[in-house]
Structure 1
Amino acid sequence: MIPAEFDYTAPSTVDEAVSALAAAGEDAKVIAGGQSLLPVLRMRLAAPTTLIDLGRVAELHGIREDGEHIAIGAMTSHYEVQRDPLVEHHLHLLKLATDTVADPQVRHRGTLGGALAHADPAGDLSAPCLAMGAELVLCGPGGRRTVPAADFFVDFFTTAMAADEILVEVRLPKHTGWHAHYEKFNRVAQAWSIVGVAACLRVEGGTGGTVAEARVALTNMAAVPVRAAAVEAALVGQPATAESIRAAAAHAAEGTSPTADGNADREYREHLARVLTGRALTAAAGV
């Protein structure tokens, strides 16, 4: 199917993009990598009057070190995130999750900012960002503001970003030396996660030592990514052993509200959450 007719603009600065969005009104759409938006346009599930392409805004590209944070421009591709040494060293969980996104073609075109702004509960990058305490920098006519990942995701495909704002940057605290793993379950290769688990641990004393900090977040277990708070609480202060991990993972479904669809019912997703949490933590701890 051919998309409905629309105007097209490609600003070269953030200010130009914000001005174009404000001028176009509520029926405008911003395009980043286009891997989610273009299929929607072709099926005419969206019919924007104006399409604002962020691809030429140089400020939105790139990865840099900023004190105790790594700052990633919203238009940085998944491919660039996968291969950046700062991400590999300080944000290993994000690197591992990005490795699982779709296929090489999508990873070359898709962007971190676009994936987060799309806010698909089955998307693989929201949970790792939530687990690591990411902050999202938004820009609108009133200037810039920073929103924690815990407040950014509001509902299915809905974020705290206003209609006249764009996502500029994703800031993640360094998790240097943390043990990490992303575990997902899908029916076929390159498909969306039926359930996913993002886990990172700070272990004192080497393999089998004591868990000093634990951060676990779940993909597709609610309308938004959620922290597995009961799992985290059960792990901290415990030895990083298979036994303690198994006991903690039993709490993975607590506080979640998974939906039922053609892939899985609620009970099956709860079962997957417990199993995958155990796998993710075991792999992260190396036990």
Structure 2
Amino acid sequence: MYDFTYHRPSSIEEAAKLLAGAEDGKLLAGGHTLLPTLKQRLAQPSDVVDLAGIAELKGISEAGGALLVGAMTTHGEVHRSELVRAKIPALAHMASDIGDSQVRHRGTLGGSIANADPAADYPAAVVGLCATVRTDRREIAGQDFFTGLFETALDEQELVVSVSFPVPEKAGYAKFANPASRYPIVGVMVARTGEGVRVAVTGAGPSVYRWSEAEQALTANWSAEALKDLTASPEGLNSDIHASAEYRAHLVAVMAKRALASAG
């Protein structure tokens, strides 16, 4: 690990100033990607700004028919929240199955979506539940937030503050997990929302995407029958030692059916 200057600000404004004043500053949330990268000397930031001391980035509340989840709220807190379980049980279920207990204790919502790992769970919730990502500068529609492999719409030095999840009429999430990492080889969020039916797929491709054919079928008929004969295309999907593109395409259809069954 290379030398760097460590900061632990107590406010969003202080964090933003520290980041702006650093030659090459990096934000630290849960640290599950940044710390291994530093240990392997694959990155050499001048400054590391730890967000753990900023109280306004934590917590879960309800307002205007939506749940507002702070960026530094951990997966475990999302899973255990009675508010989340009551209003969006699919989101609580998703959080309960991320990694292992250590990961859920330290990993954060904001860190996960800012990192934009193609196999992360939360992108399916952000897109599938029509969420809005709030930063220290603006609001970004969940549909527009993820732009590619490890890429987001965030500008340089922009901080995720919270994510607003509108409460859906129905929602369900199912994934086929890698047995070692618990990352989804394929994960699917199916939701009936105020903006229509959403079917968001994570893990299968370079970035989260919507399965439009399934959305159209479920809009016409919200039932298992609508997905019975649907097949997903393997074009553009990931192919690696864990699963071929063709197998991932098969899993997209299977997980969509399981997510629908979970949604009811």
TM-score range, shorter chain: over 0.9
| 1:197 aligned counterpart, secondary structure | strand
Aligned counterpart for 2:8 among listed residues 10, 16, 22: 10
Within 5 A, what are the aligned runs for 1:16-95? 16-25=14-23, 27-95=24-92
2:103 aligns to what? 106
Aligned residues: 263
| Larger radius of gyration between Structure 1 and Structure 2 | 1
Task: Supply the distance in 1 between the matched residues of 2:196 and 2:63 (Cα, whole angstroms).
Answer: 23
Please say if residues 8 and 50 of structure 2, whose CA atoms lie closer than 8 Å, have aligned partners that are also in contact: yes
2:243 aligns to what? 264
Task: Supply the distance in 2 between the matched residues of 1:164 and 1:114 (Cα, whole angstroms).
Answer: 14
* Residue 179 (structure 1) shift: 3.3
Task: Supply the distance in 2 between the matched residues of 1:99 and 1:239 (Cα, whole angstroms).
Answer: 26
* Residue 182 (structure 1) shift: 1.6
Aligned counterpart for 1:227 among listed residues 207, 210, 216: 210
1:180 aligns to what? 171
* Residue 253 (structure 1) shift: 3.7
* Residue 213 (structure 1) shift: 4.6
2:225 aligns to what? 243
| 2:242 aligned counterpart, secondary structure | coil
Task: Supply the distance in 2 between the matched residues of 1:37 and 1:73 (Cα, whole angstroms).
Answer: 20
Q: Percent identity at matched positions?
A: 40
1:214 aligns to what? 197
Give the TM-score normalised by the residue count of structure 1. Answer: 0.86
* Residue 190 (structure 1) shift: 4.2
Task: Supply the distance in 2 between the matched residues of 1:213 and 1:22 (Cα, whole angstroms).
Answer: 40
* Residue 145 (structure 1) shift: 0.3
Aligned counterpart for 1:161 among listed residues 149, 154, 157: 154
Q: Deviations over 1:204-234 (max 9, x none)?
A: xxxxxxxx95321101222211111210111
| 2:184 aligned counterpart, secondary structure | coil
Q: Which amino acid is the alignment partner of residue 48 of structure 2?
A: L
Please say if residues 93 and 200 of structure 1, whose CA atoms lie closer than 8 Å, have aligned partners that are also in contact: no
Task: Supply the distance in 2 between the matched residues of 1:4 and 1:157 (Cα, whole angstroms).
Answer: 23
Within 5 A, what are the aligned runs for 1:82-161? 82-139=79-136, 144-161=137-154
Please say if residues 118 and 157 of structure 1, whose CA atoms lie closer than 8 Å, have aligned partners that are also in contact: yes
* Residue 239 (structure 1) shift: 5.1
Task: Supply the distance in 2 between the matched residues of 1:224 and 1:107 (Cα, whole angstroms).
Answer: 22
Unaligned residue ranges in structure 2 (runs of 5+): none
1:207 aligns to what? none
Unaligned residue ranges in structure 1 (runs of 5+): 203-211
